[in-house]
Amino acid sequence: MTDDAMQNQRYFLKDSIRKTIDFSQTDQSRGIKAPDLEKGRSPDQTIIPLPKKEEWASVKDVTVCSAIESRESRRIYSGHTIQLDELSFLLWATQGVRRRMDAGHALRTVPSAGCRHSFETYLVIFNVEGLSEGIYRYLPVGHSLVFQGSPEGLAEKITDASFGQSFIGRSAAVFVWTTIPYRMEWRYEMAAHRVIAMDAGHVCQNLYLACEAIDSGTCAIGAFDQEKMDRLTGVDGTDEFVIYMAPVGKISPG
């Protein structure tokens, strides 16, 4: 890579671009309606309600200190089933809605620049109580799942799409986060993309910590075949695309 190309890549990490933007001309400032909090669904899609907080019988009460101290990337899973209340807890911990403010804004369990929350959460399910193998999408407003489909050879396909990282296909579930950049661009224009990357880190760290409360582990995945993962999740690759992944599985004690 040439020095100029490297400097251009480094520029993405800086906030210098903010000084070049006329924020009076963003879509927010021009009075354009904020993007919706979550993607819509077709009427024929199956909705699966998730257990509510008071029903999380399988979730242990761990301290923040112990969760931080124990957290590590885990690639070996026991093969035991993740319970539905445990999955519900992980989804709440990573993208749960605490309070809806209006049609385009909600306070969640993770921080996001300008309360914009550009992510959608897809789940590749292999071994979760009460859910058949397939791809699902989280609906944070109603705390439920929508079934997207069940492609044949799902474990092989996601392994191939992650450059042969076979432990992903041996997990109980894979969290796949996509971004819809316009949710952030609506407010920040060209300064949106740097903070989308920051927000992804907030979400995945919460997953790491939450896994400690259900005797499970995860491993952040930043290396994957972009086009294959976009096709697998059924997104267009332009206005929505995969940005981050993390498999989750039960760990053996000791």
Which pLDDT does position 145 carry in this prediction? 98
Q: What is the Cα–Cα distance from 55 to 78, expressed in whole angstroms?
A: 25
Tell me the C-alpha to C-alpha distance, in Å, between residue 194 and each of 13, 17, 77, 170. Answer: 6, 10, 33, 32
Cross-strand bridge partners of residue 97:
108
User: Hey, what amino acid is at 192?
Assistant: A
CA atoms within a 13 Å half-sphere pointing along the CA-CB vector of 6: 3
**Structural class in CATH, domain 47-199+223-250:** alpha beta
Please give the Cα distance from 104 to 193 (Å, whole number). 19
CB 208 within 8 A of CB 69: no
**Pair 98, 108: CB distance under 8 Å:** yes
pLDDT value, residue 101:
86
pLDDT in tens, 198-228: 999 999 999 999 999 999 999 999 999 999 9
The CA distances from residue 180 to 36, 63, 117, 131, 172, in Å, are 11, 33, 9, 26, 26
CB 251 within 8 A of CB 106: no
The tens digit of pLDDT for each residue in 71-130 reads: 999 999 999 999 999 999 999 999 999 999 887 889 999 999 999 999 999 999 999 999
How many Å apart are CA 112 and CA 96, to the nearest integer?
12
pLDDT for 102 equals 84
| Mean pLDDT in residue range 128-142 | 97
The tally of CA atoms less than 13 A away on the side-chain side of residue 219 is 19
Please answer whether residues 141 and 98 qualify as being in contact, where contact means their C-beta atoms are separated by less than 8 angstroms. Answer: no
Q: How far is CA 9 from CA 3, 21, 136, 190, 209, in A?
A: 10, 19, 34, 15, 31
Residue 20 predicted with pLDDT over 80: yes
Written as one letter, the residue type at 91 is L
Average pLDDT over residues 51-58: 96
> Which pLDDT band holds residue 254 (cuts at 50, 70, 90)?
low
- pLDDT tier, 2 (very low <50, low <70, confident <90, very high otherwise): confident
**What are the residue ranges spanned by the domains of the chain?**
47-199+223-250
Residue 131 pLDDT greater than 60, yes or no: yes
